[in-house]
Amino acid sequence: MSVRFEIDLQTGQREMVVDQKGRALLINPFTNKGTGFTPRERTLLDLHGLVPPAVCSLEQQLERVYENFRSKPNDIEKYVFLTGLQDRNEVLFFRLVHEHIEEMMPIVYTPVVGEACQKFSHIYRRARGLYVSYDNRGCVAQVLRNYHADSPSIIVVTDGERILGLGDLGAGGMGISIGKLCLYTLCAGVSPFDTLPIMLDVGTNDEDRLADPLYLGLRQRRLRGTAYQDFVDEFVDAVISVYPDAVLQWEDFLKENAIRQLERYRERLCTFNDDIQGTAAVVLAGVLSGLGLTDQELDQQRVVIAGAGAAARGIADLFVAALVDKGIPHSLARNSIWMADSRGLVHEGREGLETFKLAYARTPVDGETPSLLDTIRLAKPTILIGTSGHAGLFDEKIVREMATLNERPMIFALSNPTANSECVPADALRWSSGRAIVATGSPFPPVEFDGKSVRIGQGNNSFIFPGVGLGLHYAKARRCPNTVFLAAAKALAHETSRSDLAEGSVYPRLQRIRECSHAVACAVVRQVVADGFADPEVLDDLEQRVRAKMWFPDYVPIRYEPGATRDRDPERRMFERYGREAGAHG
C-alpha cells in the first residue's frame, strides 16, 4: 500500500493519502483506525460493514484498550497485549503508552522486555522489522530493500548475544530492537512510519534455544572470527548503499564486538552504540545533577566502576572527556577512574587482561588483586557505579564504606533487568543513614526513609538515545562524534530541576521525557554543526523546527487516491517541503 501525507497550507491540516480501500486499511497498522473511522471515511473507503456501526472517539478507544490492558494477569501478558495492539493500530498503541507512560514503559521495555526476549519464540505473533540471517550472505542489500520504508530514519540492530544482563538469546534479541524503536517514538516523537528494527542472526550458543523445537532463529552455533566480521561488513555496506541517510544504532552486542564494530564503522556512516555511549551520557548527566546535592565540583570526583565491560569503558571515556572539557589534563582525568571486574581491581599486573580494559588499568598492586571493597578503600571514590550484572554486589559493607568516605556518596546501580541490580535502593539508603544519592537502571518505587519519600532516579538510556537519534536525523548528520554525548549529558542534566533534586532524584520524571528529548536533540544538532558534520542551515529556528518534527499519536483524515505516488518517507519529505507545518501534531 502507498501512503503519503499532504498538508493544507492555509489550515495546517494534515491528510493521509492512500491508494487502497476496504480491508487493506484495517490490516495495516499505520492506516487502521478501527472503530475510529468517521462515517464519511467509511463511505469513501468502502468500510461499511467491515467495522461495528458505532463511531468511537480516540478517547473511547483508549478507555477500551486500557481496560483490556489492566485485565491481564501478569506483566508478560500485558506485553503480549501491547504488542498485539501495536501490530494492528500504531496510533492507538503509542497514544495509550503516552497517556500511561510510567505504568507502561517498564512493560514495553526494561524490565519486562527481558522476559519477552527470553520467551520470544513462544509468544511470537507477527513479523516486524527485518531478520537478516547468515543464510542471506551475499544478498543482504536485497533483504534490506524488502522493507516497507524506502528511507528509514533510525535503524536499531542487534545480534542477540548480550541481551540486557540475560546473555545470548539468539533471535529473541529482536525484542530489544523493536523495544528501542518504540522508545524512539514514545520519548522523542520519531515517526514510526520509517523506523527499522533488525535482528542480525548469526546463530546462538544457548543450549536451551538450540534444543527448543519452537525456536525461530538459525539453529546453529554462533558465528565467530573472520566469517562473522565479513558478514557484519556486508551488512554495513548494504546499509550505506540502500539506506545512506539512516542513523544506525548498535544494540546489545558482546562487549568485545560492541567496541570493535563502533570503532570500525564510526568514520563510514552516522552510527553509535547506545550500550557504550548512551549509557555513558545518562550516567554523566546523573553525576552532573548529583553535584547539586553534594556541593562539589566535577574535578573533585573519583569514580569506581564495578563491571569493566563496554558500558564501563564508555562511562569512563565520557567522564574523562567532561573533565578535559573543564580544562583538566587528560592524564589527571584518567587517574580519577578505577575499574573492578569479577576478579577485582583491573590493573596492569593481571594476566590475560582484555585489550579494551588496558586503558584504565592501574599500576600493579603488591600481593593479591584487591577486591571491590579493597578497591574502594584504595581509591576513596565519591561515586560508585555498577554495570556488572551481578545482583546484590553492593552489599552492606560496600555501601557503609562509601558512606564513611563521603557525606553524600553517589551510588548508581545500573544493571538491568531489575533482578540484576547491584543493590536495592531501600538497602542503600538504610545502610547509609539516608545519605546516599541513589540511581538505578531499572525502575524502583519511591523509598520511605526517616519520614520522607525519596524518589529513585532511573538512569534510563531513554533519556538520551531517542533525543540523540532525533537530533542526528533532523540535522542529516554525516557522522556521530563522541562530543555529541557530552552535549547530550549536559542538556539532560540541565533538565533536572530543583524539585527533582529535592525529591532525591538526579533525573527528571518520565512524564517530561519528550521535553528532555527535545533539549537533547537540539544540543546534538548544535554539536554536529560545530564539529562540521552537518550544515549550519539546520540551526535556523532550531527549537521550533525540532519540536515540530516530533510526531504525536493522533488520527488524521484519510483520502483515497488511485495510483497515489509512492512516498515511504512522508514525515521527512513533507517537513523539508513545508517546514514547520509539516510536522504539526495531529
* Residue 441 DSSP code: S
The active-site residue out of 33, 78, 180, 255 is: 180
Phi and psi at residue 78, to the nearest 5°: -65, -40
Please, is 39 exposed, middle or buried when counting C-beta atoms within 10 Å of its C-beta (0-12, 13-18, 19+)?
A: exposed
Q: Which member of 79, 109, 184, 265 is catalytic?
A: 109
Gap between the Cα atoms of 179 and 113, Å rounded? 7
Q: Are 383 and 304 in contact (CB under 8 A)?
A: yes
Task: Please tell me the total number of residues recorded for the chain in this structure.
Answer: 586
Residue 171: closest CA among 220, 121, 207, 122 = 121
Query: Is the C-alpha dihedral spanning 531, 181, 272, 152 positive or negative?
Result: negative
DSSP 370-411: P-HHHHHHHH--SEEEE-S--TT-S-HHHHHHHHHH-SS-EE
Instruction: Check if the beta carbon of residue 447 is closer than 8 Å to that of residue 425.
Output: yes
CA-to-CA dists, residue 104 to 97, 98, 113, 192, angstroms: 6, 9, 11, 18
The whole-angstrom separation of Cα 9 and Cα 582 is 9
Known catalytic membership, residue 131: no
- Sequence-ordered strand ranges (E) for 318-471: 337-341, 344-345, 383-386, 410-413, 437-440, 447-449, 452-454, 457-458
Whether 474 is a known active-site residue: answer no
Residue type at 374?
D
The answer to whether 294 touches 407, Cβ cutoff 8 Å, is yes
What's 482's DSSP letter?
T
Rg of the chain (C-alpha set):
24
Q: Are 387 and 415 in contact (CB under 8 A)?
A: yes
Pairing of strands 247-250, 154-158: parallel
Q: Give every CB contact of residue 483 below 8 A, 6+ residues apart in sequence.
A: 321, 527, 530, 531
- Which residues are known catalytic residues? 109, 180
